[in-house]
A and B are shown apart, each in its own frame.
Chain A
């Protein structure tokens, strides 16, 4: 114990021997930069801001390389889509077939309809009397003086799929009359035909026609609907089932869903078909942690590249603004007089120009000119940069006005240092602290402006991603309500970056301020 004490005493006395009491080295000396850094890091908020910005930088710049996908890589997927395959309608209106060499005009058709509605057995038109005789269910034969003029029917006689010739009137009439009376055979021109329940009309086992109440139309051109398919469909429709299976000529089996549309009184038959489509708005999964966007691109990767664009635009714009602002402000503050007056009036004019409307007008004009997205980004940076210098110029001028009167400037003048050197080597470095603070704050607001413009569709354009144009998907309210993963992460990234820059700017302002107590 006592030994320890002695040792300590020795150590103290040794140090005292090395440095005398008024030696500077006894005091821990910090350079101004280190002082600022110390004050900066003591502020919790600024450290938080720094961490946020570093995180966003890593996310945007390194993340882009780490991501397995490219910025505009589109992902596709197979999906079972219900496609409208055919539409079926039940025929409820009379159709007419006219006997060879006879006339049955639409007026007569209307007359027939009227007579049918009134249950009359004949009607007269232009002094000719037409007689109707019911030959079967919904089958009427119209005759004048025992000559058959036409038949009216509701069941439709179709030629088989591969038949080239049309069905003759006589065959049509005979087949319909057999079918509607549930007869299984009929004879025509010495040939025996058979009719089955499904309406197939055969002559010696070859299909010559088929009868059906339904009209089936393909939804897309080029689709050949077979008789077999129609039969299946009719069975399904008659048994009121909601779906049926059918194996087509290529041996592909598919499920068809039947959907009745009361408005048009049709049945839509949907085919479940596997389709190769862009993977739009896929939910977050292992391969796509934030899902995919409206173009089938990986959201997380888009977010990273978007961050790159937003941050780079922010830095370039602020650099342009600071560059112009320092030069103009420096000249204005140093020379004073009419130069100062002129530059400050220009600054006043720039302040007075409503910047947001101006940028919107320019953006809309670029839309009209269809400027290429890459060039457009460049223009955007130039415009924003050119509109941002007056604020910096005003600040620099104010600082320089006060610095100009100080002794060290008199000293530089006495030493005969050139004007250029005096401004840029002696005045400007003294303004750097304020410049850094305002630039950091400007970075945040520039990123916000760019994001707002891109959100309105007037800034960064597809195929380039930017946080603003990622969020612009919410203009579709379905996306807003159902796909949070599209726009909330981008908004949070934006908030974190801008907040980070503001925290850092705030912390720097306090750290640079010598009056600060802490």
Chain B
């Protein structure tokens, strides 16, 4: 087991190295970058230096005058020494901006993840146990609609219904206008209230795949021989399903849940942007659009690490949960 983990970790490091290099390469090669537009802007000021001089100065300032490979290793060295640089857009250290925003995203992600589990697992089981029934069809269609719904369309529908027509929620933003006047307790509730629509959006658009996953795995288990044996023994259907079948469905379920835990930190790019929730997705969207290399590099590396971590966790959990699996 330890050998497996070490091997996987080493492989992950190699993959991460390649991924960050590719991203760095792309970001450096893109024209029309932050520095160029900045130089253009500075050069138009009255009495300013010409564009070329500004460009050279800014490039030297941001360390972009070095060749890409050397620049990459410089970045790598800084990264390993814990220096992630300063964000160009937010003009604060990347880590500070990250720390400011990531927890909000995590809270949003975690709440919607719990909601997904609470809704998807029972519905998936119901669909599987009553295969081809009306309930199964309804749940399958619901799941597929959830998968097929464009986030931005669903969010806009929610806004139209609940914010405009009913006036229950604010259209965008995390806090009300009179936020500064509230007591800390009220401030907490104010934020929570503003997170309702984004969390509903997140939950609905990602609930479908989990529901289908539960259904498929439950169906597989229900067709297994030991379920037939359990039924043959004369156990009640309830016991067969919740005692024998469900426990075995937990194996793939726990694996996928464990694997998606790191993803909770990644932020919801589109949803946060639509509702103007200042989470990590929102912050990184604007950083990426403007070509802020330190912040984008950090965010993409962070996402890559989360993906690798998720895969590793699900592999390990698979071995831990299922005694039949032995990893060499």
Contact = CB atoms under 8 A, between A and B. Distances in A.
Given A354-B304, A487-B156, A360 B289 contact: yes
The bracket for how many chain A residues form the interface is 35 or more
Contacts of A484: 160
Interface in B271-328: 273, 284-285, 288-291, 296, 299-300, 303-304, 307-308
B26 A349 contact: no
Given A352-B15, A368-B33, A361 B153 contact: no
B153 A352 contact: no
A362 interface: yes
Interface string B214-230: 00000000000000000
Interface string A483-515: 010011001001100110011001000000000
B150 A495 contact: yes
A365 B288 CA distance: 10
B145 A361 contact: no
A45 B304 contact: no
Interface in A386-425: none
B144 A506 contact: yes
A357 B299 CA distance: 9
B30 interface: yes
Chain A interface helix/strand/loop/mixed: helix
A477 interface: yes
Given A480-B159, A495-B153, A361 B30 contact: yes
B157 interface: yes
A499 B150 CA distance: 11
A358 B15 contact: no
Interface stretch (A203-211, A232-240, A447-455): A447-455
Interface string A364-398: 11011100000000000000000000000000000
Nearest to A369: B32
A494 B153 contact: yes
A349 B156 contact: no
A364 B291 contact: yes
A455 B285 CA distance: 14
Contacts of B269: 356-357, 360
Given A358-B23, A364-B290, A491-B153, A369 B31 contact: yes
Nearest to B18: A349
A95 interface: no
Nearest to B289: A364
A477 B171 contact: yes
A353 interface: yes
Contacts of B303: 354, 357
A113 to B, nearest CB: 41
A353 B296 contact: no
Nearest to A499: B148
B156 A345 contact: no
A495 B153 CA distance: 9
A219 B156 CA distance: 40
B153 A353 contact: no
B182 interface: no
Interface in A308-334: none
A452 B270 contact: yes
Contacts of A44: 137
B202 to A, nearest CB: 15
A351 B152 contact: no
Nearest to A488: B157
Contacts of A477: 171
A518 B32 contact: no
B132 A518 contact: yes
A474 interface: yes
Interface in B2-50: 11, 14-16, 18-19, 22-23, 26-27, 30-33, 36-37
A365 B156 contact: no
Contact of A349 (B19, B144, B284): B19
Nearest to A497: B148
A358 B300 CA distance: 8
A307 interface: no
Chain B interface size, under 10 / 10 to 19 / 20 to 34 / 35 or more: 35 or more
A107 interface: no
Contacts of B157: 488, 491
Contacts of A369: 31-32
A471 interface: yes
Interface in A426-478: 444, 448, 451-452, 455-456, 468, 471, 474, 477
Contacts of B11: 345, 348
Interface string B255-277: 00000000000000110010000
A362 B19 CA distance: 16
A361 B270 contact: no
Nearest to A364: B289
Interface in B119-160: 132, 137, 140-141, 144-145, 147-153, 156-157, 159-160
A491 B290 CA distance: 28
A351 to B, nearest CB: 7
Contact of A365 (B18, B30, B144, B171): B30
A361 B27 contact: yes
B221 to A, nearest CB: 14
A159 to B, nearest CB: 42
A514 B296 CA distance: 47
A503 B132 contact: no
Given A352-B307, A352-B308, A358-B23, A481 B160 contact: yes
B307 A351 contact: yes
B301 to A, nearest CB: 9
Contacts of A444: 147-148
A354 B299 CA distance: 9
A348 B304 CA distance: 11
B114 interface: no
A364 B293 CA distance: 13
A452 B288 contact: no
Nearest to A509: B216
B92 interface: no
A45 B141 contact: yes
A365 B289 CA distance: 8
B164 interface: yes
Contacts of B296: 357, 361
Contacts of A480: 156, 159-160, 164
B247 to A, nearest CB: 23
A352 B270 CA distance: 20
Interface of A: 44-45, 345, 348-349, 351-354, 356-358, 360-362, 364-365, 367-369, 444, 448, 451-452, 455-456, 468, 471, 474, 477, 480-481, 484, 487-488, 491, 494-495, 498-499, 502-503, 506, 518
6 contacts: A349-B15, A365-B32, A365-B33, A368-B33, A452-B150, A452-B270
Q: List 4 A-B pairs, minimum CB-CB distance, nearest first.
A: A368-B32, A491-B153, A498-B148, A354-B303
